Each structure stands twice: as C-alpha cells, then as structure tokens.
Amino acid sequence: MSTRRSNSIRRSPVLIYLPIAEISVNMLIIVGMGGAVGFLSGLFGIGGGFLLTPLLIFSGIPPVISVATVASQIVASSASGALSYWRRNMIDVKLAAVLLIAGVGGSGIGITVFGALRRLGQLDLIISLAYVTFLGLVGGLMLTESVRAILNAKRGRPAPLRRPGQHIWIHGLPFKMRFKRSKLYVSAVPIVVLGFGIGFLGTLLGIGGGFIMVPALIYLLRVPTNLVIGTSLIYIVGTMSMATILHAMSSQAVDFVLALILMIGGVVGAQFGARIGQNLRGDHLRALLALLILGVGVRFLGGLVTIPDELFSLTVLEGLLP
Amino acid sequence: MRRLATIAGLVGLLTLGNQAWAEQLTVALSTPEIRIGSNFSGVPVTVFGVIEPDAQSASHVGKYEIATLVLGPPESVVARRKDRILGVWANSASEIFLGAPSFYAADSTGEIADLADAEILKRMRLGFDNIGFTYRDRVGRDNPGAAEFREAFLRIKVKEGLYTEQAGGVGMIGKSIFRTTVWIPANAPIGFYQVSVFLLADGELIARAGDSFTIAKTGSEQFLFNFSRNEAFIYGVVCVAMALFIGWLAGVIFRRD
C-alpha cells in the first residue's frame, strides 16, 4: 500500500493560506467567486448569501467556515446599500428596529441549533435540506410569477395588480403597533415572527434573507415599496453583524482572510452588476434569478440523493465530543 | 555532532537493552520548525543521518535497512458513515478514534513487511497495519468491530496526503549515509512532530534515534488565529467593523448619485 507523494515545491503566488480554515486556497478562484456573486447581487438587487455560501461549500471550503464567513461578507455587501438608503431617508427606522430586535433573538437560537447540529454531525445534512427547501420554494414561486408576467406582456395584457389595503388575516392579529413612516397600523406578531425566522435561518445557513424579507414586507405587511429595500438592508446589516459575532464566539469559524477576499470581490462585482441590471427588463431578470436559485437548489438535492463518492467522513474533535 | 551521536547511541542502548550490536545512528532534519505564512502551501522536510559502525566491535554482517517514521500530534477524530435514510444520504453510524496520529509518514529502504517480523513492526508502529488505533467505545487496539471505520480513516487520510508510506523512499548514499524527504502538506495540523529512525539488519532492530520538529503559524496567520481563539468576541466585532468599513468605502468610491 505504497502511496505516491509529491516532493516538488508547489508554491504558487496565487495560493493563500486561510488562518482559521487552516487550508490553502487559490486566491483567484475565491476573488472570482466573490466577484461573480457580487455581480449577480448587483444585477438582481439581492444580497447573494444564498449563492455565495453554496459556492464556497461546493468548492471544498468546510460548511462551518463557509456559513460563518459569509455572514460577515453579507454585512459588507449590504452596508453600502443600507447607507445610501439611510442618506436618502428611505427607511422605516421603527419597523427596522422591531424586526432587528426579533432578528437578534433568532440569531441567538440559530447559533445554538448550529452548534448542536455540529456536535451531532448533522449540520451538513440540515444545511443541504434547508437550502433545497427554501431555494426550491422561492425559485419555483418566482419562476411561475415571472413566466406569467412575460407571457402577459407578450399578449399585451397588463399584469394583474394586487390591490394594497385589502383586509387579510394578518390584520386580525393582536398587539397592534403604529408605524408612522410606512403609514401602517399592524400587529407586531407577524413582524416579530418574520424578524426572528429570518435571523434564525440567516445564522444557520449563511444567508441574509433579503429574498424572503423583501416579498414578505411587500405582500404580507404592505410596507410602501420605496421603504422596503432600505428597511430590509438595515435589518440584514444588523442581524448578520450579530451572526458574525456569535459565529466568532461559538463556532470560531469566521475566517478573516477569506472574508476580506470575498468582500473585495463582492463589492467590486456588485458595481458592474448594477450597471448591467439597469438595461434588463424586470420580468426577464426575475426569471433568470429564479432559474439560478432553482439551479443551486437542484445541485444541493443532487448531493443529497446520489451515492457519495466517499461514504465516510472525518471530523477532528475540538471540544465537540458528543 | 559527536555529542548528538552519543546521545542517540545511548537512547538506542536504553531501548534495546544490552545487545551486542554497536552501530550508532545520528539523525538530523532539514528544519526544526516549519512556519506557516500567508503563502504556505506545503513544504518538504528532509530526514538524513549517518550509520556509524563501532570500530572496537565487529560490525553487523547483513545489509543495513533504514526506516523513518514521522508522527503528527495525536488527535481525536469522529468517523461517520453515511447511510440512505428516506432517500437521502445522511450520517448515521460513527466511531470515535482516540489519540490517532494526525499525520503519519513511514519511509523505508525496502518493503516494510520485509524489514522485520510482525511483532517488531508493531512495536515500532511501522506501516499502516501497525499504527494501532484505539476507539472510545471499544476495548483494546484495532478492535475488529471498527474495521470498516479504520479502513475509511486510512483511505481518507491517504487521500488528504496526511498518511503516507514510501517503500524505497529512504535512499542510501554510500554504505552509511541515508536520507528521505517527507512532504508536509498545507493541511497538516500545527503542533509537535516526532521523527523516529530505525536501523535494522537481518530482521532485527539494532539501533534507533529520534528527533522532532514543530509546525507553527507565524506573523499575521498566528496573530489572527490566536486572536480568534483568545478574544473571540472582540475578533467578531473587528470582523464586523472591517465589513462595515469596506461597505462604506465601496459606497464612497462607487457613489452614483
């Protein structure tokens, strides 16, 4: 059972050692991934965490490191947008504060579940299952909606508009709060549930959750569309900052070097994406994004149902004894 | 050098008891410390040494064989097996290895099995079959109940480049100088690495010597790692601050309004 070993010095200037992940990676590939996801996030106006975390996992970075590090990358990619909406006063601060308080709680529970799953050795499985579920659901809904819009536009029919102000089940809930900026008087229950749930998922999966938050604010809470993006961004900056700190303390898997490379690639890529996105039609953009989301979901599903090349895995126990 | 040889000889004598063979082994490494910097992508370590026959007593008749063994810091590892559960491949059965070498490189002049009989090889932990794993939930070494996990462990470690066997890896220069090169990959864990060198002839162990080296992070890699472990909260806050700064900077540089 003799194995071949390379004795040549394989030193290349593009390889960079990640001090927390303790592996050496090709810097160009990481910058490229950060840039590509940044480009898409600029193009589609999304955070991109749900693309970046899977890309890192697929490229061989351990899921724990990927999730924890992308949390900090999301802070960077959302911060410039949040700041710009803040300057233009396009944020409902009170709504964002309520969402954020619930989000911090969700993040705290998320990190506990993350640690427990890791000890049980089921973290990768749950991450994959959650990605399949959410990406499948959101991607499927977006695709049907955008295809319908495209078909309607072809036939020259106007898209059916949902009328705001209709009475839905949400308005029957107790603990009503007034949000002056959004001209809303709604129950705090759905807001807290939303903030908590996305904070929980974001911390567990390494996503900002904008792709759930934005439609929820528009369709469930009927927040005026000009305030939705800014409020969602402020919320994401807050919860993902919390998630980063909690991951740094609990899973100790936030890799500073990896985060820095991803952030630089991401913010630069986003600028180019945003410029190209302005020249594309909204329904086409949404259809493309839906296909992308479904693609990532299918990739996760494939990993779950096909026979793995290696049935066994090793995990070094570092205070992780179950 | 002379003193080192004496020490090595003494160690050899102590471990071997009062045997008649008088060969002495002197061992040296190309580096006592491997420093991990930002461009670290693995490094070779050369083990070389000299066999010194004692002039006073008759030196050994047979051909000398040399085996070197590099052991990384021991670690406890959980090995998990995936099974199909409700159509999905999920981790189910597991086995916990206690104190397994994180890195293992056995090099020798010839096939390991030909060097000595099984008992001696086992004592030296030479060759994958002789490492001797212990499991948290099983009695004794290499408990057959965990055989499939043991095989998987070796297979994965070999694939990661952390476990190697090189029959013929040790080269002789003349009759008494030997050398071998062990590749330390970028994913080798940091810590204390033990090097053992065995001199064998006619299936018998006639001398042994040891040395060691360490793998440590240096510079910013060391700083960031220690920072993340010792001051986890502040480290997290610094990561967030960096993210906010880069986000702000991007907003300033690429401002469109």
The SS3 call for residue A148 is: helix
Shortest CA distance to B69 belongs to which of B238, B199, B241, B188? B199
For residue A168, give how far its alpha carbon lies from the nearest alpha carbon of chain B (Å).
38
Q: Are residues B45 and B154 in the same domain?
A: yes
Q: Inspect the interface and report whether the beta carbons of A17 and B81 lie closer than 8 Å.
A: no
Asked if residue B84 belongs to a domain, the reply is no
Burial tier of B184 (Cβ tally within 10 Å: 0-12, 13-18, 19+):
buried
B55 plus B120 within the same structural domain: yes
Percent of chain A whose pLDDT exceeds 90: 36
Tokens of A93: 């601060």
B206 and B176 within one domain:
yes
Question: Residue B91 CB: number of other CB atoms within 10 A?
Answer: 21
**What is the total count of domains within chain A?**
1
Residue B185, in any domain of the structure: yes
Q: Is the Cβ pair A256, B244 closer than 8 Å?
A: no
B239 in the same domain as B210: no
pLDDT at A7: 39
Residue A268 is which amino acid?
V
Which residues have C-beta within 8 Å of that of residue B129, sequence separation ≥ 6? none
- Please write the tens of the pLDDT for every residue from B179-206: 999 999 988 999 999 999 999 888 888 8
B243–A252: do the CB atoms touch at under 8 Å? no
Mean pLDDT to the nearest integer, A238-264? 94
- Determine the Cα–Cα distance for residues B154 and B135; give it in Å rounded to an integer: 14
Asked whether residue A92 is assigned to any structural domain, the reply reads yes
Q: Report the pLDDT value the prediction gives residue B178, as an integer from 0 to 100.
A: 93
Q: Which pLDDT score, from 0 to 100, does residue A253 have?
A: 93
The answer to the question of residue B13 being in a domain is yes
pLDDT band, very low/low/confident/very high, at A166 (cuts 50, 70, 90): low
Same domain, B106 and B152: yes
For residues A320 and B199, what is the distance between their CA atoms, to the nearest angstrom?
Answer: 40
Question: What's the domain range around A268?
Answer: 16-158+167-305
CATH of the domain at B34: 2.60.40.3880
B50 and B15: one domain?
yes
Confidence class for position A41, pLDDT limits 50, 70, 90: confident
Contact residues on chain B for A10, CB-CB shorter than 8 A:
41-42
Q: How far apart are CA B14 and CA A191, in angstroms?
A: 75
pLDDT of amino acid A161? 54
Q: Does B77 touch chain A (CB under 8 A)?
A: yes
A29/chain B closest Cα distance in angstroms: 15
Question: B212 CB contacts (<8 Å, ≥6 apart)?
Answer: B32, B192, B193, B194, B195
Instruction: Flag whether pLDDT at B14 surpasses 50.
Output: no
The average pLDDT across A277-295 equals: 82
Distance, CA of A262 to chain centre: 14
In the predicted model, is pLDDT for residue B232 greater than 90? yes
Question: Do the Cβ atoms of A22 and B189 come within 8 Å?
Answer: yes
- Domain-embedded: residue B86: no
Q: Are residues B118 and B236 in the same domain?
A: no
- In the 3-class helix/strand/coil scheme, how is B25-89 assigned residue by residue? EEEEECCCEEEECCCCCCEEEEEEEEEECCCCCCCCCCCEEEEEEEECCEEEEEEEEEEEECCEE
**Minimum CA–CA partner of B222 in chain A:** A19
Question: Chain B partners of A12 at a C-beta cutoff of 8 Å?
Answer: 41
Q: Is the pLDDT of residue A187 over 70?
A: yes
The residue of chain A with its CA nearest to that of B157 is A314
Residue whose entry in the numeric block shows the structure tokens 């630089």: A264
In a domain, B151, yes or no: yes
pLDDT attached to residue A289 = 84
Whether B236 and A78 lie within 8 Å, measured CB to CB? no
pLDDT band at A159 (very low <50, low <70, confident <90, very high): low
The phi-psi region of residue B188 (left if phi > 0; otherwise alpha if psi is between -120 and 50; otherwise beta) is: beta
Residue B115 lies in a domain: yes
Distance CA B94, CA B82 (A): 9
Q: Please list, residue by residue across B39-56, b when 16 or more beta carbons sit within 10 angstroms of its beta carbon and e when fewer do.
A: ebbbbbbebbbbbbbeee
Query: Do B156 and B48 share a structural domain?
Result: yes
In a domain, B83, yes or no: no
Predicted local distance difference test score (pLDDT) of residue B203: 85
Q: Which of A76-80, A92-96, B20-24 has the lowest mean pLDDT?
A: B20-24
Alpha-carbon torsion (A22, A24, A29, A35), positive or negative: positive
Whether B253 and B227 share a structural domain: yes
Interface membership of A90 toward B (CB under 8 Å): no
- pLDDT reported for residue A158: 62
A104 has a pLDDT exceeding 90: yes
Q: Give me the pLDDT at residue B21, please.
A: 55
Q: How many CB atoms lie within 10 A of CB A147?
A: 14
Q: What is the pLDDT of residue B110?
A: 87
pLDDT band at A167 (very low <50, low <70, confident <90, very high): low
Residue A158: partners with Cβ closer than 8 Å, 6 or more residues away: A152
Q: Which residues contact A37 (CB under 8 A, 6 or more apart)?
A: A48, A51, A52, A55, A265, A266, A269
Find the mean pLDDT for residues A177-203.
Answer: 87
CA neighbours closer than 13 Å in the CB half-sphere of residue B87:
3
Residue A4 pLDDT greater than 70, yes or no? no
Residue A257 lies in a domain: yes
Q: Answer for the pair A314, B81: CB distance below 8 angstroms, yes or no.
A: no
* pLDDT reading at A62 higher than 60: yes
Residue A319 lies inside a defined structural domain of this protein: no
- Does the pLDDT at position A45 exceed 80? no
The answer to whether residues A292 and A135 touch, using CB atoms and an 8 Å cutoff, is no
Cα distance from N-terminal residue to C-terminal residue, chain A:
33
Q: Which of A110-114, A237-241, B88-92 has the lowest mean pLDDT?
A: B88-92
B39 reaches A (C-beta below 8 A):
yes
Structure-block tokens of residue A192: 């807290």
Which one has a higher pLDDT value, B80 or B37?
Answer: B80
The confidence band for A73, taking pLDDT boundaries of 50, 70 and 90, is: very high
User: Any residues with CB less than 8 A from the CB of B140 and at least 6 apart, and which?
Assistant: B134
Confidence of residue A279 (pLDDT cuts 50, 70, 90): confident
Average pLDDT score over chain B: 86
Q: Is the ipTM of this complex over 0.90?
A: no
**pLDDT-based confidence at A288, cuts 50/70/90?**
confident
User: In the beta sheet, which residues pair with residue B178?
Assistant: B49, B172
> Given pLDDT bands bounded at 50, 70 and 90, which one contains residue B256?
low
Q: Tell me how crowded residue A167 is: count the other CB atoms within 10 A of its CB.
A: 7
Q: Model confidence at A322, in pLDDT bands (50, 70, 90)?
A: very low
DSSP B20: S
Q: What would the mean pLDDT of B152-158 be, rounded to a whole number?
A: 95
Closest CA to A237 of A70, A10, A74: A74
What is the reported pLDDT for A39? 87
Establish if A5 belongs to a structural domain.
no
Confidence of residue A209 (pLDDT cuts 50, 70, 90): confident
Token pair belonging to A268: 């630069």
- Domain extent for B46: 2-72+101-127+146-217
Residue A264 resides in a domain:
yes
pLDDT digits (tens, 9 = 90+) for B54-106: 766 665 666 888 999 999 999 999 999 999 988 899 999 999 999 899 999 99
- Of A43-57, A104-118, B88-102, B181-195, the poorest mean pLDDT is in A43-57
* Residue B187 vs residues A52, B190, B197, B225: alpha-carbon distances, Å: 23, 9, 24, 15
pLDDT at A2: 39
Strand order in the sheet with B43-52: B24-29, B43-52, B177-184, B171-173
pLDDT value of position A106: 96
DSSP H helices, chain A, are 27-44, 49-58, 63-87, 93-120, 123-154, 188-205, 210-215, 225-249, 256-277, 282-305
Instruction: Answer yes or no: do B206 and B222 share one domain.
Output: no
State the Cα–Cα distance between residues B175 and A178, nearest whole angstrom.
Answer: 91
pTM of the model: 0.82
- pLDDT score at A277: 72
Given pLDDT bands bounded at 50, 70 and 90, which one contains residue A47?
confident
Kindly state the tokens that stand for B114: 């030909």
- Residue A182, chain B, CB below 8 Å: the answer is no
| Region for A172 from its dihedrals, namely left if φ exceeds 0, alpha if ψ lies in -120 to 50, beta otherwise | alpha
- The kind and range of the H/E element at B228 are helix B219-230
Question: What residues in B contact A84, CB-CB < 8 Å?
Answer: 251, 255, 257
Say how far apart CA B166 and CA B168 lie, in whole Å: 6
Q: How many domains does chain B have?
A: 2
